Amino acid sequence: MIVFDRVSKVYPDNSVALEGVTLSIEPKEFISIVGPSGAGKTTLLKLLLAEEAPTDGAVYYESTNIHTLKKKEIDAFRRKVGMVFQDFRLLPNKTVYENIAFTMEAAGRADEEIEQDVPHVLELVDLSAKVWNFPRELSGGEKQRVAIARALVNEPEVIIADEPTGNLDPANTYDIVQILKKINDLGTTVILATHNKGIIDLLKKRVVAMERGRIVRDDKSSKYFV
């Protein structure tokens, strides 16, 4: 269970990114956070990953305040969370296989496990044919599928996807959403930040709408009215 408890974030230039946000996310839930650019979606996700610290309030993961964790504990916590970015953020000098294996190596997994799990997870995102390609040799959709495979391979409890379809065409967008849905069906919490109306309609899951750093609507059904 993830809880944002009256969280505010003010950046050093005095711009207010979040203002008194309270939000709880149940295990195995699929939640979409929507809103225009600058609404505070990305800041919310950064706080959850301990990439930024809140100015006020607290973020809890299973009753632990994330921002009181020590550096090593943060590393360990981040391994429980899979992250997918709009710009993919793959490691350019590593092949598809190595990009995914890196996450497992960082988590201290054995070589045998890596050899077994990487092909498996690549199969799940339908990318088995590109194992030895470098990111620069892949299309946008393929890169995002590698990123999802990387986020998935350590069997995280939560997947955070920040505008994962922002750089993709409709066909690839559809594929990525289907993959995320499949992941959620297998029991992983998915937090998706997007401003793509089509995706929300397709998902029919919980939608939280944000505007100027506040939650303006929390809808358990699924329409994007903003």
Shortest distance in whole angstroms from residue 101 CB to other proteins: 9
The only residue of 15, 22, 24, 51 in contact with other proteins, by rule CB under 8 A: 51
Read off φ and ψ for residue 166, nearest 5 degrees. Answer: -55, -30
Q: For the chain, how are helix, strand and coil distributed in percent, rounded to 5?
A: 40, 25, 35
Considering the complex, state which of residue 158 and residue 199 has its C-beta at the smaller distance from other proteins: 158
CA distance 191 to 47: 13
Task: Give yes or no for a contact between 15 and 213, defined as CB atoms under 8 angstroms apart.
Answer: no
* Residue 73 touches other proteins, criterion: CB under 8 A: no
* Residue 67 touches other proteins, criterion: CB under 8 A: no
Residues 143-182 within binding reach of other proteins (CB under 8 A): 150
* Residue 53 touches other proteins, criterion: CB under 8 A: no
Burial bucket for residue 58 (CB in 10 Å: 0-12, 13-18, 19+): middle
Question: Looking up tokens 């919310």, which residue turns up?
Answer: 44
The only residue of 22, 93, 128, 139 in contact with other proteins, by rule CB under 8 A: 93
CA distance 114 to 116: 5
The only residue of 26, 105, 185, 201 in contact with other proteins, by rule CB under 8 A: 105
The only residue of 56, 111, 126, 137 in contact with other proteins, by rule CB under 8 A: 111
* Residue 194 touches other proteins, criterion: CB under 8 A: no
CA distance 137 to 15: 39
Shortest distance in whole angstroms from residue 64 CB to other proteins: 16
Residues that contact other proteins, how many (by CB under 8 A): 26
The residues, ordered by sequence, that sit 6+ positions from 72 with a Cβ below 8 Å of its Cβ are none
* Residue 70 touches other proteins, criterion: CB under 8 A: no
Kindly list the residues in this chain that would bind other proteins in the complex (CB under 8 A): 49, 51, 71-72, 75-79, 83, 89-94, 98, 102-103, 105-108, 110-111, 150
